[in-house]
Amino acid sequence: MKEISVQELKEKMDNNEDFQLIDVREDFEYEMSNLGGTLIPLAGILIEKDKIATDKPVIMQCRSGKRSAVAIMQLEPYGFTNLYNLSGGILAWAEEIDPTMEVY
Measure the CA–CA gap between 39 and 45, rounded to whole angstroms.
10
How many Cβ atoms are within 10 Å of 47's Cβ, its own excluded?
9
Q: Which of 40, 62, 69, 75 is catalytic?
A: 62
- Does residue 78 sit in helix, strand or coil? helix
Is residue 62 part of the annotated active site? The answer reads: yes
Measure the CA–CA gap between 71 and 55, rounded to whole angstroms.
18
How many Cβ atoms are within 10 Å of 33's Cβ, its own excluded?
17
Which residues are annotated as catalytic?
62
